[in-house]
Structure 1
Amino acid sequence: MAATSHLNSKLNFSQIHHRYLHPIRAHRRNHTNSLRPAKYAVLGAGFAGLSVAWHLLKMTPKGSSVCVDVIDEIGIGGGASGSSGGLLHPYSPKARVLWRGGECWNECMKLLDIAERTQTANCVSDGPIVWRRGILRPSMTLKNTEILKQNAQNCLRSCNIEILDSDSVSSIIPGLSMPFNCALRIPSAVNIHPKRYLQALFLACQNLAMEDGKEIHLLQKSFDYLREFAGEYDSVIICLGANVDMLPELSGKLPLRTCRGVIAHMRLPANSNKGEFKADSPSILSEAWLAIQSPRDALIGSTWEWNSRNYSSKVSDEESSIALENVLLPKASAVYPAIRKWEFVRASAGLRAMPPLTVHGSLPLLGSVNGALGSEDGSGCRYWVIAGLGSRGLLYHGLVGKLMAQAVVSSDESIIPSELVSWKDENMWFSKHITTV
């Protein structure tokens, strides 16, 4: 099947999704066939999955016979990635220097730039991918004030942090609560629209495949076992987030906890201007965050329901009411009282896969998981996993996707930093989880 063609006409992303949806192949090619392309299956079309897909295409030589199938039953951004708030900054609220914070930031900025340029070049837009207005974090406790000051001193060179007083903040966001006369401003922080970003990044993958003579397909199909992919693919990269636990071969075998988060979309009533944000107002980071999308539209989040098994992005009226009245509005109005005058539009949710805490912080889990499948199946297929990006999936996805693609292309797990694969040793993973499914 030829690589996808360039789009010259103006289309919205839903049209692109329909136009480039390919059915899975019914046949399997012989491994001895020298013309057989290197075939990779990427399970999951969220932040991690599309980062891996992009880097697999980018790292393989131009003109080489390569096929990447991105497989997701729901589609692009249908899981927790598509329901995230989209606030992006290399900042730790606990004054801890983030793991490779500068690298994570730079790799993410590269992918955002690629997505934006693709959106412009293909005349495809449902609205902006990125709002570059920065983030404000006001101090709400005395302890928090000291942490904010430490953050300002220890900030990355690539992400400047300023300390502002009440007068300075009131000129930026009037009415913001400032009980301790201190707030951090991160001018370079951004707010992204997750689904627009992911759709544009997939389109960038299609364009790159066409230019380099490679193939990439989006396959909306369900699957029950990892072994279904044996013989069809050289490598399978599992980027399913919390859904990884639904695979029988890996269920209960990764040191992850689930956490469901509900986000509310709020809008200022049409007959009111009081409480309207400025066109360049930054988003707000506090006990609850407010992601400002326009002077009259904002997202507020998020709730933290630990050990949830609710994988749906849909939110019932009861769940949204409880989340809004018991958690989101009380926390958001404590920092921005005017939000109580806004109207609730809708709610969405995502189930995050949270990793264990290590000496380096809460880090994603990467590595080969062939051990989970027991004896080799003889097909030569290799299985890899990216999991546990947690609440920092947007920040981590560029770098971990790049590292995983390097490991997959070279068939060398040692390329992955040891701190990202140490979960296997620390949990005696291979000795506990060798199994036959």
Structure 2
Amino acid sequence: MFFCCFTKAPQICCSWCWICWIVCGLAFVQSSEESNLCIDIYDEVGIGGGASGMSGGLLHPYSPKVKLLWRGEECWKESLKLLNVAEDARSSKSLDMVMPKTGLKEGDFIVRRSGLVRPVLSVKNMHMMNDNAQNCIASCRIESIHKDAAQKLVPDLCVPLDLAFHMPEAVNVNPQNYLEALYLACKTFVKSKCSLGISCKELNLHKESVLNLLELAGDYDAVIVCLGSGAAFLPELSGRLPLRMCRGVIAHLQLPDHIREDYPENSPSILSDAWLAVQGPQTLYLGSTWEWKSRNFSRHVPQEEASKALAELLPKASAVYPAIKNWTVKGTCAGLRAMPPLTAEGSLPLLGCVDEFIGGPTECKYWLFTGLGSRGLFYHALLGKLMAQAVLSCNEDLIPSELTSWKHRVKQ
């Protein structure tokens, strides 16, 4: 049996296309001992080469806009499991044995477990976060704290309404290191099974583009399209997916060496109208802008666009962290989000079998995994596992109906 996880890897911000396929791949290679699987991944720029490898990586199960995210506790727990898989792979001796050319370096973090803090800036924001705090899950608490306590967590933090919400168990993920470590985990698992003679499994990465899905007809038993917003530009799916395109710009800031007041080592990252994803005492990412209806995939940010983005982001950041004025902008990057439609359950990704959209010979079964928007890191683990189970069983019913209902709305 052959599977193809297909990702052309356009420059996409926070869509986590690589995480989509890598979770599918991990589930495939960990399938039944008797399964002989060959998994080919097509990606023209490599692991995390798009903007998915450059996102802020802030992971928590809450939103200031809805009381509870879809399957919040389940998604949270599955994400934590995969973070552990990545860290275990990173700490094992297989780093040199399996992937000698990996970009991972000793000392580079995969997960920064320092929590998140959200200062309250409006009464509306306060009411929603209070609802979140009252309904929080046990493994990721929300604590309401006053100004003094908040400023002990982050010196110089601005708390205008004398109230902030602290999520001590929330984490900050380094997406590039995480993706490389997950890929390493997949390769290591395949190698260990083959060496024991239990089953023959393959996982191959091809740095090639695929211009249309019918190119793959006849070669695979299943094709999974993990293209983020790029899925809407495939000829077979163009005009048929209810995705809203939104370009976002993220800035990389660094604290100059002559500034002695580093960002405290164990202080949380900051959530606000703009987020600050802390990478270390002297480096952080600031994001993000929202340019709706854009079709610009480019990761490159021209000077004019960069200036406009910084003019928007820096005032929002300084409103909660005035010390940002001491930091220097080292660069910017951008990408295109694939935002799913709004439903009664919130903005949910688009999953399911799309054979009926492809046309032509259907010798393989085509599946779609897209629309993760800005919450891909939260949804990726659970949905990747569900997708893999559905593909292996050739049974779309294993995917929750709220994730496949978009197809019925499209047909109407």
Match of 1:98 among 47, 69, 76: 69
> Which residue matches 1:371?
356
Structure 2 CA distance for partners of 1:140 and 1:422, relative to 1, 3 Å: same
SS in 2 for 1:311: coil
Give CA-to-partner distance per residue, 1:117-148, whole Å, 9 cap, x none. 10110356421111000000000112222222
SS in 2 for 1:398: helix
SS in 2 for 1:390: coil
Match of 2:59 among 88, 112, 117: 88
Q: Do structure 1's residue 397 and structure 2's residue 380 form an aligned pair?
A: yes
Counterpart residue identity of residue 281, structure 2: P
Q: TM-score, normalised by structure 2?
A: 0.91
Residue identity over aligned pairs, in percent, reads: 51
1:53-202 pair list within 5 angstroms: 53-59=25-31, 61-121=32-92, 122-123=94-95, 125-126=104-105, 127-202=108-183
What is the deviation of 1:80? 3.5
Please, which moves more after superposition, 138-147 or 287-296?
Answer: 138-147
Give CA-to-partner distance per residue, 1:184-213, whole Å, 9 cap, x none. 100110001111110111111111111223
Partners of 2:44 and 2:362 in 1: CA distance:
27
Gaps of 5+ in 2: 8-16, 97-103, 195-200
1:38-437 pair list within 5 angstroms: 38-44=1-7, 46-59=18-31, 61-121=32-92, 122-123=94-95, 125-126=104-105, 127-213=108-194, 214-274=201-261, 276-324=262-310, 326-375=311-360, 377=361, 379=363, 381-428=364-411
Structure 2 CA distance for partners of 1:336 and 1:196, relative to 1, 3 Å: same
SS in 1 for 2:22: helix
SS in 2 for 1:293: strand
Partners of 2:202 and 2:158 in 1: CA distance:
52
Alpha carbons 1:95, 1:148 under 8 Å: kept: no
> Which residue matches 1:29?
none
What is the deviation of 1:161? 0.8
Counterpart residue identity of residue 428, structure 1: K
Structure 2 CA distance for partners of 1:378 and 1:237, relative to 1, 3 Å: closer
Alpha carbons 2:67, 2:128 under 8 Å: kept: no
Q: TM-score, normalised by structure 1?
A: 0.86
What is the deviation of 1:63? 4.5
Q: Which has the larger radius of gyration?
A: 1
Counterpart residue identity of residue 413, structure 1: E
Give CA-to-partner distance per residue, 1:32-68, whole Å, 9 cap, x none. xxxxxx1111112611111111111112x22431100
What is the deviation of 1:238? 0.3
What is the deviation of 1:378? 5.2
Alpha carbons 1:290, 1:332 under 8 Å: kept: yes
Partners of 1:114 and 1:350 in 2: CA distance:
27
SS in 2 for 1:332: helix
Partners of 1:95 and 1:181 in 2: CA distance:
23
Give CA-to-partner distance per residue, 1:376-403, whole Å, 9 cap, x none. x152x00000110000000000011011
Alpha carbons 2:263, 2:280 under 8 Å: kept: yes
Partners of 1:273 and 1:87 in 2: CA distance:
26
Alpha carbons 1:80, 1:352 under 8 Å: kept: no
Over aligned residue pairs, what C-alpha RMSD do you find?
1.3
Partners of 2:263 and 2:346 in 1: CA distance:
35
SS in 2 for 1:54: helix
Alpha carbons 2:240, 2:410 under 8 Å: kept: no
Alpha carbons 2:251, 2:333 under 8 Å: kept: yes
